[in-house]
């Protein structure tokens, strides 16, 4: 079977990559024959992004760039967005769905990096290394065991037991920790981990509390002043999840009062857009506190894995119409057919569209060699393989079907 290529010349496909996306991703895109790639070091604000996206087909971002409804409505050629990170909350998914723009991310690629750092932070805090480090830098010799403990035999409480939380669970148990966890969904415990029935149960029993939840309306200020009061006296809080999850003022007050003995915070409600910009937090200057600039998943291995994963998804969609892993376009992955041209059709999910597609092609005596449909709440995604000789006519007819959002001749 001969290789298929996109009907649109590869040299005319424009790709915009922001926020220092891994060279691994760029190399993968180049290897597939795409040369029109523009790289921007940092994030762009809304107006600048709209200007840059005028003729762009693929957009790659990380966590800082906000892709709003206004941005999407002013990007007529945009086919897909690759979020080279774990989350996609920086993208207006509803607007992307309505515009028929496929959104991909890498939900598993930096799991190990974050999990290792959580364990590392737990060791540093339970041994009070930040205090001893600061004293040594100030020329003070502070060799004593007061307030320093081993991890072994302690209890770590995981709030959220998804990809990262469960990985922390495995590493923590290997270190000799007892593991308890709470998740809003029923999760199968790994190893000897024990599920708790409530957030209160976890925070009241754990010597170390580590957060692994997404940013949603229900998780905003999840660790509130009230919840912090329920935490075990002298316990430690670690947040490598999302900045809005913890009430930092309440946490600072608890640390100052000695109710908690330490904290490691990597994510914040407001974060600078670029390196070198001013950063402020109520936790600055407090004893036994580790503050890091959102680097939980920032390892070379993680960035390479993310680069490979997301670039492969973008290229799979652009060249084959594959949408597995998309947050906006229904999932389809299908084989190629010899002797056929492939057309992608995204439409509003209302009754009668598929029937209209089939009727229009039937009336024109166009033979459908393969047809695949998947829908979500808002849109339908149809992939059609049609006779090569009639594909241009079929494409013209499909663009005129009522409720069409976008149609693309793939090859």
Residue 289 binned pLDDT confidence (cut-offs 50, 70, 90):
very high
| pLDDT at residue number 200 | 98
- For 289, residues 6+ apart whose C-beta sits below 8 A from its C-beta are 130, 255, 262, 263, 264, 265, 283
The whole-chain average pLDDT of the chain stands at 94
| Residue 129: CB atoms within 10 Å | 16
The owner of tokens 């007819």 is 397
Nearest to 341 by CA among 311, 378, 385: 385
Whether pLDDT at 86 is above 70: yes
Cα distance between residue 80 and residue 100, in whole Å: 9
| pLDDT at residue number 6 | 62
Catalytic positions, written as ranges: 242, 271, 294
Average pLDDT of span 223-235:
98
How confident is the model over 145-177, as pLDDT tens digits? 999 999 999 999 999 999 999 999 999 999 999
Whether pLDDT at 189 is above 90: yes
Nearest to 395 by CA among 355, 347, 349, 361: 361
Whether pLDDT at 351 is above 60: yes
Whether pLDDT at 4 is above 80: no
Please spell the DSSP secondary structure of 315-383, one letter per residue.
HHHHHH---TT-SSSPP------TTEEEEEEEEE--TTHHHHHHHHHHHTTPPEEEEEEEE-SSEEEEE
Nearest to 255 by CA among 123, 120, 115, 130: 130
Could you give the domains of the chain? Answer: 7-105+300-329 (3.40.50.720), 110-291 (3.40.50.720), 330-410 (3.30.70.260)
| pLDDT at residue number 338 | 83
Whether pLDDT at 120 is above 60: yes
| Residue 19: CB atoms within 10 Å | 20
Residue 5 binned pLDDT confidence (cut-offs 50, 70, 90):
low
């Amino acid at each position: 079977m001969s290789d298929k290529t996109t009907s649109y010349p590869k040299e005319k496909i424009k790709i915009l990559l922001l926020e220092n996306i891994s060279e691994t991703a760029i190399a993968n895109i180049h290897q597939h024959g795409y040369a029109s790639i523009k790289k921007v070091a940092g994030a762009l604000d809304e107006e600048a992004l709209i200007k840059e996206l005028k003729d762009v087909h693929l957009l790659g971002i990380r966590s800082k760039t906000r892709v709003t409804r206004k941005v999407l409505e002013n990007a007529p050629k945009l086919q897909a967005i690759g979020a080279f990170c774990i989350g996609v909350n920086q993208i207006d998914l509803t607007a992307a769905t309505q515009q028929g723009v496929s959104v991909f991310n890498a939900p598993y690629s930096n799991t190990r990096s974050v999990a290792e750092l959580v364990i590392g932070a737990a060791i540093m805090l339970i041994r009070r290394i930040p205090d001893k480090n600061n004293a040594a830098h100030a020329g003070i010799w502070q060799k004593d065991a007061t307030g320093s403990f081993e991890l072994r035999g302690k209890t770590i409480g995981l709030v959220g037991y998804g990809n990262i939380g469960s990985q922390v669970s495995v590493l923590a148990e290997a270190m000799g920790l007892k593991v308890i966890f709470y998740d809003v969904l029923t999760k199968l415990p790994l190893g000897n981990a024990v599920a708790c029935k409530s957030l209160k149960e976890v925070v009241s029993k754990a010597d170390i509390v580590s957060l692994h939840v997404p940013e949603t309306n229900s998780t905003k200020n999840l660790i509130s002043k009230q919840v912090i009061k329920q935490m075990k006296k002298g316990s430690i809080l670690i947040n490598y999840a999302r900045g809005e999850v913890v009430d930092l003022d309440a946490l600072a007050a608890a640390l100052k009062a000695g109710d908690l003995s330490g904290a490691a915070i990597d994510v914040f409600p407001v974060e600078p857009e670029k390196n070198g910009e001013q950063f402020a937090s109520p936790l600055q200057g407090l004893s036994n506190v580790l503050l890091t600039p959102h680097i939980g998943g920032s390892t070379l291995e993680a960035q390479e894995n993310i680069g490979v994963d997301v670039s492969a998804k973008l290229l799979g969609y652009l060249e084959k119409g594959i949408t597995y892993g998309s947050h906006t376009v229904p999932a389809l992955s299908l084989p190629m057919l010899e002797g056929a041209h492939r057309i992608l059709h995204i439409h509003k999910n209302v009754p009668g569209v598929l029937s209209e597609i089939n009727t229009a092609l039937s009336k024109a005596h166009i033979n459908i060699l393969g047809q695949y449909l998947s829908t979500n709440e808002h849109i339908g995604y149809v992939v059609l393989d049609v006779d090569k000789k009639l594909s241009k006519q079929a494409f013209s007819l499909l663009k005129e079907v009522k409720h069409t959002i976008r149609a693309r001749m793939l090859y």
